[in-house]
Amino acid sequence: MIIKIKKSSDVPSSEVTSESEYLNRRSFLAASATAIGATAGAAALLGRAASPLSAAGSTPASASAVQELEPTAEKLITSYNNFYEFGLAKEDPAKHAHALVTEPWSVVVDGLCNNPAEYQLEEFVSPSTIEDRVYRFRCVEAWSMVVPWQGFPLADVIKRADPTGDAEYVAFETLWDPDQMPQGRWRNWEPRIGWPYREGLRLDEAMHPLAFLATGLYGKDMPNQNGAPLRLVVPWKYGFKSIKSIVRMTFTAEEPPTTWATQASNEYGFYSNVNPDVSHPRWSQARERPLGSFRRVPTRFLNGYADEVAHLYEGMDLKKHY
């Protein structure tokens, strides 16, 4: 059965997310941040009127964080991607990802949960309300952007799956279909990357209100090269944690193997939290270049979301758990 998939760009969502609306929205955020203080700004950012997070957000640092969220140009966001299944150069995914078939699309939820199921995308998405999130996105390669996403909290689908008491982690898997991803196939002689691409989060990280499943950006359907039709966005972690084109979520008791941590465990850890004080072995993480800008800017701890998420890592040595 072919299901007409409700797109994030369908009215009324697209009306809410036009570019001028973004501008208005930003000025609203900026105004509220200065006038009412960062608490209101952070709450508006999260789309939650009375989030428990907002209590922690009333520092000057997060006020400036809200004010600075000027979205990166759409053209840059959609033409500079790491999606190795479609080629290894930054321009490759935009060139080749049109071959990705996103309708129909199904997502399997399994592992240690009480409601395992295989969903058609529409069934998976429709119980949630599509909302806007403007997030900073920091790649492990020391470039960054600000993306206006549309989607819904990851916690929605986790609550529905109802993980058992043993579940400590949730693992994610990207589609792997060499027929649709010929670039990945011909470069697959390279034995170090084992497809499909895998990622994972600790369950408490996954349940955090900032963790987001995105179905679109800039008010449009998610471009294939950005991980259509459904991708993870974890804004306080390096971009490669935000797995694209998800086909499976599995609840596990043990820390699941993830692609980059398996590939080069000395360079990429399971946590991969944005941290200017922990250098990548081959380059510094202290600064980043926002796409569209010529100057590097300082990178912030947890990508500027420390007020919201730092408590998740209390007592952990982040130099060890990089």
Question: Would you count residue 295 as binding another protein (CB under 8 A)?
Answer: yes
Among 68, 289, 301, 310, binds another protein (CB under 8 A): 289
Question: Would you count residue 90 as binding another protein (CB under 8 A)?
Answer: yes
Whole-number minimum distance, CB 282 to another protein, in Å? 5
Question: Would you count residue 190 as binding another protein (CB under 8 A)?
Answer: yes
Question: Would you count residue 192 as binding another protein (CB under 8 A)?
Answer: yes
Question: Can you tell me whether residue 196 is helix, strand or coil?
Answer: coil
Q: At CA 84, angle to CA 81 and CA 234, rounded to 5?
A: 60
Question: Would you count residue 185 as binding another protein (CB under 8 A)?
Answer: no
Question: Can you tell me whether residue 13 is helix, strand or coil?
Answer: helix
Write the single-letter amino acid at 255. Answer: E
Q: Which residue's CB is nearer to another protein, number 80 or number 152? A: 80
Among 187, 253, 262, 265, binds another protein (CB under 8 A): 187
Among 9, 38, 42, 84, binds another protein (CB under 8 A): 84
Whole-number minimum distance, CB 241 to another protein, in Å? 15
Question: Would you count residue 80 as binding another protein (CB under 8 A)?
Answer: yes
Within the chain, how many helices (H) and strands (E) appear?
A: 12, 12
Q: Which residue's CB is nearer to another protein, number 80 or number 212? A: 80
Whole-number minimum distance, CB 189 to another protein, in Å? 8
Region class of 230: left (phi > 0), else alpha (psi between -120 and 50), else beta: beta
Q: Which residue's CB is nearer to another protein, number 185 or number 287? A: 287
Q: Which residue's CB is nearer to another protein, number 152 or number 197? A: 197
Q: At CA 208, angle to CA 251 and CA 19, rounded to 5?
A: 115
Q: Which residue's CB is nearer to another protein, number 4 or number 319? A: 319
Question: Would you count residue 6 as binding another protein (CB under 8 A)?
Answer: no
Question: Would you count residue 176 as binding another protein (CB under 8 A)?
Answer: no
CB 213 within 8 A of CB 133: no
Question: Would you count residue 287 as binding another protein (CB under 8 A)?
Answer: yes
DSSP code at position 310? G
Smallest CA-to-CA distance from 87 within 185, 183, 186, 180 is with 183
Question: Would you count residue 284 as binding another protein (CB under 8 A)?
Answer: yes
Whole-number minimum distance, CB 83 to another protein, in Å? 12
Query: x/- string (CB under 8 A) for another protein, residues 222-261?
Result: ----------------------------------------
Question: Would you count residue 283 as binding another protein (CB under 8 A)?
Answer: yes
Question: Would you count residue 34 as binding another protein (CB under 8 A)?
Answer: no
Smallest CA-to-CA distance from 257 within 157, 172, 140 is with 172
Write the single-letter amino acid at 303. Answer: N
CA atoms within 13 A on the CB side of 103: 9
Q: Report d(CA 224, CA 94) in Å as an integer.
A: 8
Contacts 24+ apart (CB under 8 A), 18-22: 18/219, 19/218, 19/219, 21/219, 22/71, 22/134, 22/148
CB 288 within 8 A of CB 144: yes
Whole-number minimum distance, CB 96 to another protein, in Å? 15
Write the single-letter amino acid at 167. Answer: A
Q: How far is CA 271 from CA 46, 88, 239, 265, in A?
A: 23, 24, 12, 11
Give contact residues for another protein (rule: CB under 8 A).
75-76, 79-80, 84, 88, 90-91, 141, 143, 187, 190, 192-193, 263, 279, 282-284, 286-287, 289, 291-292, 294-296
